[in-house]
Amino acid sequence: MGRAWYATSTLTPRARGNVRSRLLKVGRWSAAEHPGAADPTAWTRQTCATWVAALDRMNVGDYVHRTTGIEKRLGTPLTASTKDGHLSAIRRFFADCQEWEWLPRRFDPGRALATPRSITALLGPNPRVIADEIWAKLLWAGLNLSHADLPETQSGHFYPFELVHAITLSWLFSGLRSDEIARLRVGCIRWQHDDTPIVGDSDQVLARDAVCLLDVPAHKTGTAFTKPVDPILGQALDTWHAMRPSQPQFHDRRTGERVDLLFAFRARRVSSSYINNTVIPMLCHKAGVPTTDVRGNITNHRARSTIASQLYNAKEPMTLFELQAWLGHRSPQSTQYYAKISPTTLTRAYTDAGYFSRNVRTIEVLVDRDAVTSGAAGGDTPWQYYDLGHGYCTYTFFEQCPHRMACARCDFYAPKASGKGQLLEAKDNLQRMLAAIPLSDDERAAVDEGQTALDNLLERLVDVPTPTGTTPREIGAPPTATLLPIIPVNREKRP
């Protein structure tokens, strides 16, 4: 039945091949574990539940025909995306067979073979962005590519330098998939200057003033569209187009048309795997970087993720919908897999939010070193003075005082205009320090919003005892007070 489904399905050949290979894995599992379920007509909801549970516990290499290329990962658990892909394939198979009346409707594939929540929780935007320093070296290598960097065969260079250079810059600047690059058509570049199309040699257009538009063919998520690209890419494509030998038309695998492919030579189209197999190793060798990093192999699609993330995290970034149009996505949900906020951008936003400075402020503290060295600080002699702007507070546990943002003028308070305050200011052996104090919501409002919030704070504290035990009402403190001279927090200690 799998062969009949493959011959009937309207999916692309590649998608049908992926589904068929996963169906074969299901067949090997059922033959080994549940021989009665080898026939799709015998599947029930219980069989579906058994398969979902078995898939959730499978490892790499289980029930596969060949292990070539996966030797290093044999025995490791399947990733969440692989499990989701297997379930999606068998859901598609049973849904189509039931719709075509090949199988009885014993269960709903969308529910019986749904991806468990424990797996979907692990799925999400995770673009494998290439590190900035590595990407910068790859860009330099592509912009400075020379004939000597091209791989050679026994008969010399297989492709002309202009063709390789154009493909390389397409990978570095266009943000296209490998299939889209391989299927670019002759005349895909259009130049505009002052909002007016320019006809003629593109060399006459100044790169800094020109707008280069790239026509992208129909792709896996949408129809053909046009996007702006860097003029240096347009110039490279025009250079290859000018010297491209006459080639026969080729069959477009996606649209079924006969088209003139831009990247064709010797009556053969350039393979979509040429970038992964030749261009990327060539650039890595020239740039002096490995072909793998901490996130895996450097592949064609990782460039698409890198470019999209850089555009989204730029100083003047693209919006999500602008990036969606540039990437050619049908849904903004697809764009979210590429538009991931970088740690640098997130750090900048967190710093600008001022979480620490919002909740913690600094106040200047004077320490009387004479009182400390003489030992008087151990008794009742004050030695630490909190500068309130209008006076000094000598209460040792100032951070715990509810009146610290609106002093109630208790016995611990010394106005600057008094003789005690003037004597303190006249001392030579004073050490100035900064102390950080956490603020409550009311205190933060008094500092940020001004006099009205301060008056409200004073009214709430009028019957709250001061450190001496008396309340502001008993002391007869004035109804308003001067705010603390808050010093901006820079999280640096003064010497």
Residue range 277-289, pLDDT digits in tens: 999 999 999 999 9
Q: At what angle do helices 45-56 and 13-33 cross, to 10 degrees?
A: 100
Same domain flag for 53 and 147 = no
Residue range 411-451, pLDDT digits in tens: 788 777 776 667 676 676 677 777 777 777 677 776 666 66
Same domain flag for 340 and 359 = no
Q: Which CATH number covers residue 178?
A: 1.10.443
Query: How long a stretch of residues is the chain?
Result: 495
Same domain flag for 206 and 169 = yes
Residue 491 lies in a domain: no
The contacts of residue 236 (CB under 8 Å, 6+ apart) are 162, 165, 166, 169, 170
pLDDT at 209: 59
Q: Which long-range contacts (CB under 8 A, 24 or more apart) does 325-329 make?
A: 325/225, 325/227, 326/175, 326/227, 326/228, 327/175, 328/216, 328/219, 328/221, 328/222, 328/225, 328/227, 329/221, 329/222
Residue range 24-47, pLDDT digits in tens: 998 899 888 888 777 888 889 999
Residue 483 lies in a domain: no
Report how far residue 262's alpha carbon sits from residue 264's, in angstroms, rounded to the nearest whole number. 6
Report how far residue 307's alpha carbon sits from residue 171's, in angstroms, rounded to the nearest whole number. 10
Residue range 290-305, pLDDT digits in tens: 988 888 889 898 899 8
Residue 196 lies in a domain: yes
Same domain flag for 23 and 75 = yes
pLDDT at 274: 92
**Domain boundary pick from 346, 367, 384:** 346
- The pLDDT confidence band at residue 254, using thresholds 50, 70 and 90, is confident
Q: Which long-range contacts (CB under 8 A, 24 or more apart) does 232-235 make?
A: 232/143, 232/169, 232/173, 232/207, 233/169, 233/170, 233/173, 233/174, 234/189, 234/191, 234/202, 234/210, 235/202, 235/203, 235/207
* pTM for the predicted model, two decimal places: 0.65
**Domain boundary pick from 66, 94, 120:** 120
End-to-end CA distance of the chain: 81
Query: Which of 62-76, 258-272, 396-410, 451-465 ranks highest by mean pLDDT?
Result: 258-272
Contact in structure between 217 and 255 (CB atoms under 8 Å): yes
Residue range 190-241, pLDDT digits in tens: 888 655 444 444 444 444 557 889 999 988 878 889 999 999 999 999 999 9
**Tally of domains within the chain:** 3
Report how far residue 343's alpha carbon sits from residue 430's, in angstroms, rounded to the nearest whole number. 44
The tally of CA atoms less than 13 A away on the side-chain side of residue 219 is 20
Average pLDDT over residues 361-390: 74
Residue range 72-122, pLDDT digits in tens: 888 899 999 999 999 999 999 999 999 999 988 989 999 999 999 999 888
Same domain flag for 363 and 247 = no
Average pLDDT over residues 446-466: 73
pLDDT score of 126 more than 80: no
Same domain flag for 327 and 446 = no
Report how far residue 433's alpha carbon sits from residue 494's, in angstroms, rounded to the nearest whole number. 6
Same domain flag for 238 and 170 = yes
- Domain region containing 62: 2-120
